Structure 1
Amino acid sequence: MRLTLADIVTSLDRDEPVHLARMLILLLAFSRPDDAAIHGITKLAKLDFLLRYPSYFERAMVARGVAPERVPVEPYERRSVEATMVRYRFGPWDHRYRRFINILSAKGLARVDTDGRTVRLSLTARGMEVAAALAEEDATKPLAARARMLRQRIDIGATDIMKFIYATFPEIATLAYDEAITP
C-alpha cells in the first residue's frame, strides 16, 4: 500500500507525545550550566530534523567525519514511516514547533526566554529530570545517543546549521512545498 502525504501527516499528528519526548531529549543534550540550551526556533528545527530522521542524521554525521559504523542508527529506522518528512516553506520545519514549545513550557518542563527576536530554550529542573529519565528508557536510548552526537558534532549557530543542511542535502531545496522527503 502506498501512503499519501495526507496519510503520513495524519499519522505523525497523532504522535504528539513522541515529538515532545524527542524535544526534551534534544534540549537535555544541548543543556548548558549558565546559558540556554538552544538559541532560536530555527536552530531547534534544524537540529530536530537531524534527530528525527535517522537517515539524514547518518548522512550528516558522515559529512562531519564520523565513520558510518560509529553512527547510532538501527537498520529498521532508515525506512520506517517516521523516516518520511515533508518540506515546508523553510525547508525541514514542522509547523508545530511553537505549539510543542508552549506545551513543554505549560507543563513546567521547559523555560522560554527571549533575547530580542531570538527565543532561548532551556529545561527547567523538572524538565531535566524527565528528560534524563526518558534518555534512559530502552525505546529512547538510541535517540539520546544521537542527540549527544549532534551536540558533539553540530553545536554551531542556526545559520551555519542551515547552510550545512542545504549543502549536505541539496535535494531538500529542490522539492515543492508540502512534498514528502524520503531518505
Structure 2
Amino acid sequence: MAAPLPAAAVLAIRQESLYHEARVLILISEFTAPGAPFRGLTKLAKVDFLLRYPVMAERLLPGGTTWQDSAPTADERQAVESRMIRYKYGPWDDRYYPLLGALVGKRLATFARVGGSMEITLTEAGRDLSIALGETSSWAIVAERARFLREHFDLPGQELKDLIYEQLPDVVALPLRSEI
C-alpha cells in the first residue's frame, strides 16, 4: 500500500485542478451564449491549447491581426504555461474528462452526448461564476484572450485541428506522447 500524500501535495493538486476548472469555465462561457452548448471535445482541446499558449495562437492569426490589449508578455514568450501532451490528433490534455466532470458535479455545467459529439452547457451559476472570475485582476487576461480567440478561431474542431497541423508543423512533428 502506498503512503498517503502529504497535506501540502494534496493541496497543490487541488489548487491546480481548480485553476484548470476556472480556465475551462471561462473559455466555455466566452465561446457560448447563455443556455447554448459548447460543442466538441476536439474544439475544446484546440481552443484551450491556443489560450494556454498565446504565442502559438499568435502564429495562427491572419497577417496584420494582433492581440490588442492581451498580447503575450515577455515572460509568457519564454515560459510554458502548463503541460500538454502531443497525441495522435494534436495537442491534448488528459485532464479534460475530470475537469468537465468536476464542472458538472459542482452544478456549473451540464453534459450531453449528441450523436458522436460532446455538448457542455453552462448553468446559470456556471456562467455567473465565469463572469465574476473574468472581472478579477487574476482572470481578466484569460477572459479577454478567450473573447479574442472566439472572434478569430470559432471554428469546428476538425478545422482547428487542420489549421494547427498546417501552420504549426513544429508542434505536430513532435513524437506522440511528448510534452509540448
Please tell me the TM-score bracket, short chain as reference. 0.7 to 0.9
**Aligned to 1:163, what secondary structure does the other structure show?**
helix
Q: Check conservation: 2:26, 2:131, Cα contact below 8 A.
A: yes
Residues in 1 aligned to 2:142 and 2:109: alpha-carbon distance in whole angstroms = 19
Q: In the TM superposition, what whole-angstrom CA distance separates every residue of 1:71-120 from its partner, at most 9, and x where no partner exists? A: 52222222234256432333200011111111100000111122111111
Paired amino acid for 1:47? V
Give the structure 2 partner of residue 176 of structure 1: 175
Q: Give the superposed CA RMSD.
A: 2.2
TM-score by length of 2: 0.84
Question: For residue 57 of structure 2, what is the aligned residue in structure 1?
Answer: 57
Deviation string 1:106-147 (CA, Å, 9 cap, x unpaired) is 000111122111111121000011100111111111111110
TM-score with structure 1 length normalisation? 0.83
For residues 77 and 174 of structure 1, do their structure 2 counterparts lie closer, same or farther at Cα, with a shift above 3 Å needed? Answer: same
Contact 1:53 1:84 in 2 (8 A): no
User: 1:166 aligned to 2:172?
Assistant: no
Structure 2 CA distance for aligned equivalents of residues 99 and 168 of structure 1: 30
CA contact (8 A) 2:39 2:119 kept: yes
SS at 1:95's partner residue? coil
Residues 107 and 171 (structure 1), Cα distance of their counterparts in 2 relative to 1, 3 Å cut: same
* Cα distance change on mapping 1:150 and 1:178 into 2, 3 Å: same
> Which blocks of at least 5 consecutive residues in structure 1 are unaligned?
1-10
Q: Is the 8 A contact 1:54 1:83 kept in 2?
A: no
Partner of 1:35: 36
SS of aligned partner of 1:92: strand
* Structure 2 stretches lacking a partner, 5+ long: 1-11
**Aligned equivalent of 1:46:** 46
Q: Are the equivalent residues in 2 in contact too, given 1:12–1:82 (CA < 8 A)?
A: no
Amino acid at match of 1:18: Y
Instruction: Indicate the SS of the match to 2:118.
Output: strand
Q: Which has the larger radius of gyration?
A: 2
CA distance in 2 between counterparts of 1:154 and 1:147 reads 10
Aligned residue-pair number: 169
| Distance in 1 (alpha carbons) for counterparts of 2:68 and 2:35 | 34
